[in-house]
Amino acid sequence: MEIIQSAEAFKVVGNKLKFHCVKGVVRHNDSVYFGKWKHRRRSPVDLSELYDVKRVETDDRGPRVQPSWTIVSEQSCYIKTPSLLDYAGAPDLERRILREVETCEILRSHPHPHIASYYGCLETRGRVSGLCFKNYVATLAGKVNPQHLNKYAFLLSGRPLVEDAMKAQLGGILSGIQHLHSLGLVHNDITPANIMLEEDGTWVIIDFDSCRHMGEVLRDTGTKRTHGWHDPGVTVSFEKNDLDAYFELRTWLFGSSVDEFMFQ
């Protein structure tokens, strides 16, 4: 058995995130399966060691294309498609893709220099098979934290790749957040991994699958947020979600003490 992809899953216990299981996609006898296992540090070697096992189907999982959506052919762009874990572990995948397309269509009609450029979606057999975005150089996380240090270790490392000139770009991210809010949208997952760099160094916000209208209940819509960059006790899409994450990002880049972090 081959493990193709895996990720740790957490659940909220007393307003804190605690490890729940490992979710993974595996190949066994030329078929692909999704399953879960309990051990964080010991990988399974046989399908019998997994539970909640099901075969992964990837064809025609996107929503039906709507007449108002922008359709593009494959071009020089970044094509976002669901991961195998998404195909396997998200029964509402079609609805999730539909939400992101609808959000991106709004942003395409109201562009901003610090929000990723969306070109349109790919169509296969009448369904969405990918979302096309402008290609960017690197994520902010990869640019300044190539060692993938956690928040605390990164701040204490001296952050040698963080430059004072980046403060202006940080202001651009705040402007992008405010633009989203002016459209009635909340990103809900502002992190260094969801900020990318243009060739000229401009920072842009990416990844809109957690973006929701103001006031929506996050748990009702299966909204994913990044551990350590949000308050797990907050269950509604509020502007404050993005602003708190922005201040966390500012501390991550320019803060003087780990005590300034809001989220564990």
Q: Are residues 95 and 50 in the same domain?
A: no
Question: Which domain range does residue 114 map to?
Answer: 78-133
Evaluate whether residue 143 is within a structural domain.
yes
Residue 6: inside a domain: yes
CATH number at residue 229: 1.10.510.10
Distance between CA atoms of residues 2 and 47, nearest Å = 10
Residues 203 and 225 in one domain: yes
6 with 41, same domain? yes
- Cα separation of 239 and 243, whole Å? 7
Name 246's Cβ contacts closer than 8 Å, sequence gap at least 6.
173, 174, 177, 190
| Secondary structure class of 151 (helix, strand, coil) | helix
Is residue 164, in this structure, part of any structural domain at all?
yes
- Asked whether residue 66 is domain-assigned, the answer is no
User: Coil, strand or helix: which one is 143?
Assistant: helix
Closest CA to 162 of 144, 176, 184: 144
Residue 201 lies in a domain: yes
In a domain, 62, yes or no: no
In a domain, 73, yes or no: no
Q: How many domains does the chain have?
A: 3
94 with 11, same domain? Answer: no
Judge contact between 214 and 237, C-beta under 8 A: yes
User: Based on the domain organization, do 51 and 85 belong to the same domain?
Assistant: no
pLDDT digits (tens, 9 = 90+) for 18-68: 899 999 889 888 788 889 999 988 899 999 999 999 887 766 678 899 999
Helix spans in the chain (H): 84-89, 93-109, 140-144, 151-156, 166-182, 239-254
pLDDT band at 89 (very low <50, low <70, confident <90, very high): low
Torsion of CA 27, 52, 87, 62, to 10 degrees: 140
- 20 burial via Cβ count (<10 Å: 0-12, 13-18, 19+): middle
**Claim to verify: residue 142 and residue 256 sit in the same structural domain:** yes
Same domain, 185 and 254: yes
Residue 114 lies in a domain: yes
Tell me the per-residue pLDDT of 103-158, one tens digit each, with 9 for 90 and over: 999 999 999 999 999 999 999 889 998 999 999 999 999 999 999 999 999 999 99
